[in-house]
Amino acid sequence: MNTKHFARGWTGMVAPMAMAVVALGMAAPRLAAQAPAGPPPMPATAANLSGKTAEQFYKKIDALKGIPAVEVHPAMEYITTALGVGCGYCHVPGKFDSDDKHEKNVARSMMKMTMALNNTVFDAKREITCYTCHRGAAKAASTLALAGDKVPTDASGAEIFPALSVMTFSSIDGEMSPSKAPATVMAGPARPGKAAEPVALPSADEVFGKYEEALGGKAAIAKITSLVHKGMAEMLVPAPPVPQGAPPPPPPAMGSVPAELNVKSPKGLISVVFPGRGPQMMGFDGTIGWTNVPNREETGGELIMVKELGEMVPALEFRKQHTGVKVDAMEKIGDRDVYRVVGTRKEGITTLDRIYFDAQTGLLARTYTTMQSVLGGFPEETTYEDYRDVSGLKVPFTMRVVSAEGNRTYTWSQVDANAPVEDSKFTKPEPPPPPPARPAAD
C-alpha cells in the first residue's frame, strides 16, 4: 500500500513509511495487470503504467475508471490508512482482480458516493474522503459514544443499501448546490486561540538565503557529493518470524533497530533491519522509486515522496518544486519562533506544503506535507534537531517523524560526507524467484 518531493526531505520520506507499513503487517497490493489470456500479466512498473488509464492496465477496474494507472496504487495506499486495514480486507490474497469479497463491492460503492458528493456539493473539489467518516476504523461509527461505551452495532448505510452505486449525479437534490458548501479548512497543526500581534515577515528569498548560509554556505554545500548516515530508528518493530506451524508472533511494538540512509543526489536509499529479517529498503535511482518488501516500483504521489531520498539538503529546492512560495506567518515550535513558508506543489495532485525555519538560527525546523491520491491524502510531519558540522555542512542528527503510518525517530550516530557509494546501491533489486513447483501427487 501510500507517496513525490519537496517539503519533507529525505528524513520523512515514504521509505520509512514503507517500513512502518511492513511493521504493521500491511502488504502492498499486487494488482494483476490487464493482459490477453495466456501471456503473464505485465509488472506494474512506472514504464508499463505510463500513459494508460486504470482500466487499460488493471483488471476489474470499476469506480476508478478514467484515472491514470499510476494513481491506482496510491489510492489503495490511502484506503489502508483511512480505514486502518490491510489489503486482504477487500482483496483475495493472490487474486486481486477477484470480486468474491463483499467488502470490495462495498468499497466501490463508497468511492462512487464520495465522488458524487464532491462533484455536486463541493465544486468537484475533493472535500469528502474515506477518512471523513472512517477515521482509521474499518466500520465508521454511526452514533456518538460516551467514554467507556461501545458504539452500537447498527447496520451501516452500505448494509442497508447494498446495491447503492451512484452512476450519475442527476438524482441528487438540486438544492445541494456548490454554493451551499462550507468553506474549506486547511488541515494541519492547530492555530493559536488568540490572534498574534502582526509582525514584519521576511521574504521567501531572505529566509532561504539565511538557511543556505546557516548550512555552511554555497561552497560548503557544493563540495558534498554524498552523505552516509548510520544509526538507529525507533519505530514499530515486528517480532521475528516463527517456524511454520508455531503460534503466531506477538503484534509489533515500539523498539529500536539499525538504520542507514545514503544520499548521492539525485539518488537516495534508506533501510532498516528488523530482528530475524533481511534489510527492508526504499530507494530512488534518479528515475525509479522502489521498495524491496514487497518488491515493487512506486508511482503517483508515492513516487514524488520517494524522490526526496535524493535531496542532499532537505527543503533547499522547495522554491523550484512549488509555486506561490511565500512566508505567511510566524509561529512557535516549542519555545522557538519559526517562519512558516508555504507553496503549492507543481508535480502530481495539487496540494499545499509547509516548511518552518528557525527565526534565530535560520535552520530548517520542520516540514509538513501529504501523500496525495485521487481518494484522499494523509499528512506527515518531520522535525529536524541536533544539527552538527559534517565537513563544513550542518546536518540534522535527529529527525522525528509523525505519520499516519507510524511515528518514528531517526538518531544518527555517524554521518560521513563524500564517502564512496556505488550507484548500483540505488538500483531496484530483482524480485525473488518464485518458489519451486511442488511435485505432482502420485
Whole-angstrom distance, CA of residue 233 vs CA of residue 150: 36
What values do phi and psi take at 360, rounded to 5?
Answer: -90, -50
Going along the chain from its start, the domains and CATH numbers come out as 1-172+202-419 (2.50.20.10)
pLDDT digits (tens, 9 = 90+) for 23-76: 333 333 334 344 344 455 788 888 899 999 999 998 888 889 999 999 999 999
Q: Which of 379, 357, 382, 377 lies closest to 367, judged by CA? A: 382
Instruction: List Cβ neighbours of 344 (8 Å cut-off, separation of 6 or more).
Output: 322, 323, 324, 350, 351, 352, 353
Instruction: Sort 323 into a burial class: Cβ within 10 Å, 0-12 / 13-18 / 19+.
Output: exposed
Q: Which parts of the chain sit beneath pLDDT 50?
A: 1-38, 156-174, 176-181, 184-186, 442
Q: What is the DSSP string of 341-352?
A: EEEEESSSS--E
Q: What pLDDT, on a 0 to 100 scale, did the predictor assign at position 145?
A: 67
- Cell numbers 467518516 label which residue? 133
Are 367 and 12 a contacting pair, CB within 8 Å?
yes
pLDDT digits (tens, 9 = 90+) for 271-280: 999 999 889 9
Q: What is the DSSP string of 78-138?
A: HHHHHHT--GGGTSBTTBTT----HHHHHHHHHHHHHHHHHHHHSTT-----HHHHHTT-S
Are 416 and 228 a contacting pair, CB within 8 Å?
yes
Pairing of strands 322-333, 295-297: unpaired
Instruction: List Cβ neighbours of 410 (8 Å cut-off, separation of 6 or more).
Output: 11, 16, 229, 231, 232, 233, 259, 261, 398, 399, 401
